[in-house]
Amino acid sequence: MNQTWIILGGTSTIARAFARMVAIRGDSVVLAGRDMDELEKIAVDCGLRGAPRADSIAFDARDPASFTPIVDLAKAEQGTVSAAVFVGSMPAQEEIDADPSLVDGTIADSFTGPARFLTMLAPVLEERGTGTVVGVGSVAGDRGRLGNYVYGASKAGFHAYLSGLRNRLGRSGVHVVTVKPGTVDTAMTWGMEKLPFVAPPEKIAADILRAADRKKDIIYTPLIWWPIMTIIRAIPERIFKKLEI
């Protein structure tokens, strides 16, 4: 059955691919983010590709005042409402080390902002007893690494939050998917040195949609990251602390 997707972080590369994909199959989209011009362009594109309704709305993970209108919009929606969270920010670890105040913003973008929003949205979904929440985390959240542990910590927090939310919403028929993408070929990773197993955003979007349709709980995408992270998680801390991976 067709539904309406509220897509947070709608201008991100993966979100764009995901929005386009659900639009083509006939779902409606509401794109939420900061760059309104850009969101509107993506919304128009989704509409022309098949979304019965495609809108944009302001959302800033660091400004909870922007959350209420989106929750209200979800309340007013007639059919099934689903939410997909693509927000997050990843300043280089060296930048954070030089300016520790960046820690707060990183955590707000990748964890506390989305968590607060989803906590506000949860009763709306519970009441309807239908819909899906897609939370995009990261393989970086599976283990704190030298290279980006503040970002990793935010995503780890988000993973735990999603796990709890799944436990709660599952009781009323709302499904929560945790997505852990590896490195994706996005504007954020373009030009970064030697990334392993870089996947195109369309592949990630397709995996996410399949996981949502099949009510998977946690997915790694591309799948190669599941064995990789299984091994990385299994390394004893005594050894891991000396590694640079």
Partner 1 sequence: MRWKTVDYAGWGRVHTATGEMARPERIAAVRAIVAEDPAPALGMRRSYGDACLNDEGRAIDMTRLDRILSFDDDSGLIHVEGGLQIGQLLKVFAPRGWLPPVMPGTGFATVGGGIAMDVHGKNHHGAGSFGQHVTEFTLMTPKGAKVVTPGKNAALFKATVGGLGQTGPIVSAKFRMLKAKGDVMVVTERRVSNWEDFLPLLDASDATYSVGWIDATATGEALGRGILEEAETGGGLVRPAKRGKRVPIDAPGFALSPGVVRAFNAAYWRKVPAKGRTVVKPIDDFFFPLDKIRDWNRLYGKAGFHQFQCVVPIAAAGVLRDMMEKIAKSGLASPLAVLKRMGDGRAGYMSFPMEGYTLALDFRNTVQAERLIEELENMTAGAGGRIYLAKDALSRPESVRAMYPEHGSWLKAVSKADPGKAYETDLVRRLKLRETQ
> Which residues sit at the interface with partner 1, rule CB under 8 A?
11, 13, 16, 35, 37-38, 41-42, 44-45, 48-50, 187, 190-191
Nearest to partner 1 of 8, 165 (CB atom): 8
Nearest to partner 1 of 44, 243 (CB atom): 44
Amino acid at 218: I
Q: Determine the Cα–Cα distance for residues 133 and 202; give it in Å rounded to an integer.
A: 19
Nearest to partner 1 of 41, 53 (CB atom): 41
Nearest to partner 1 of 41, 128 (CB atom): 41
SS3 103: helix
Structural contact between residues 88 and 154, judged by C-beta atoms closer than 8 angstroms: yes
Cβ at position 49, least distance to partner 1 in Å: 6
Cβ at position 42, least distance to partner 1 in Å: 7
Cβ at position 191, least distance to partner 1 in Å: 4
Beta strand pairing call for 175-181 and 28-33 = unpaired
Cβ at position 76, least distance to partner 1 in Å: 27
Q: What are the start-end ranges of the E strands in the chain? A: 4-8, 28-33, 54-58, 81-85, 132-136, 175-181, 218-221
